[in-house]
Amino acid sequence: MGLKLASRVRGLSDAAFREAFGEEEQCRAALFRLRWPEGFVCPACGHRGYCVPARRRLYQCNRCKTQTSLTAGTIFHATKLPLTIWFAAIHLIVTAKNGISSVELGRRLGVKQPTAWTMKQKIMAVMARREADTPLDGRVEMDDAYLGGVRSGGKRGRGAAGKTPFVAAVSTGPEGQPRKLKLAPVKGFTKREIARGARRWLAPGAEAVTDGLRCWNALDGIAGSHRAIRTGSGRQAARIAPFKWVNTSLGNIKSAITGTYRKLGPDHAERYLASFAWRYNRRFQLQTMIPRFVHSAARTQPIPYRNLIAG
């Protein structure tokens, strides 16, 4: 039922996007409305009255005279790019089911690749922070996974060099259909690491279903219930019914990564994985993805470039 509904949901077409956000004033009006839904609020004193000084795109508080930029205190802080470019980047990133490379993004926006990379990392950082605040409830399929290809002559499988470990989890509804996805990088599959993360990943009362990997024993006492199923290994294990949705999601994500990025390093894996989860979790809300994202972006503190490159 969920998959049939997803096929009927229509997102914002490129033409509709240009009509809604093709002009700078349209983007400014949308950001103002989403940042201050009940009207302007002075960040210094909380007063609501304001004026706009002549020839300056600033909002001046009528009480304390503090001047505030529309983009100050958001991920757009101090940007030299028009908001039309930012909104176009948001549109391309949030609607790209398989992701979009910074090279392709720069080509589509008409900016240099380093600029496109920086914009993309800031946008994905908003997605990551939003996803981190949303635990999974109900029945939750969980599995261990890795990013990184096979290296010639090197060790395969768990423990192979150059791989980034992460937890994949999918919550399912009463009819067994997938609801929410969470992708969380971890330092390794140890009981301590799983216990530390599970307190953020799982809502109270969640019913965790895992394979027989020993680290999952850490879920006992954290999840509402925990069922461990020994699956063995190989392709046949991936087809076991209790793990249908988490394995399907992992297959789709790894195919998308290979097709769009070829590979992802550990430094920025959290943002890339979160972007896939963010889009998946809003697959039935395609018409409102841009306003929902801008609403979050307006409440995300500025992200310095040094923080972006640090991962």
Distance CA 209, CA 223 (A): 10
pTM: 0.90
- 217, burial (CB in 10 Å: exposed 0-12, middle 13-18, buried 19+): middle
Question: Mean pLDDT throughout 152-160?
Answer: 51
Give me the pLDDT at residue 129, please: 95
Question: Pick the residue with more confidence: 302 or 2?
Answer: 302
Please check the confidence at residue 294 and state whether its pLDDT lies above 60: yes
Distance, CA of 250 to CA of 227 (rounded, Å)? 20
| pLDDT attached to residue 280 | 96
> What burial class does residue 103 get, using C-beta atoms within 10 Å of its C-beta: 0-12 exposed, 13-18 middle, 19+ buried?
exposed
Share of the chain above pLDDT 90, in %: 77
pLDDT tens column, 219-245 = 999 999 999 998 766 555 555 678 999
Q: What's the rounded mean pLDDT across residues 107-112?
A: 98
Per residue in 30-40, pLDDT (tens digit) is 999 999 999 99
pLDDT at 60: 96
Rounded Cα–Cα distance for residues 43 and 46 (Å): 6
pLDDT at 151 over 60: no
User: Mean pLDDT, the chain, as a whole number?
Assistant: 90
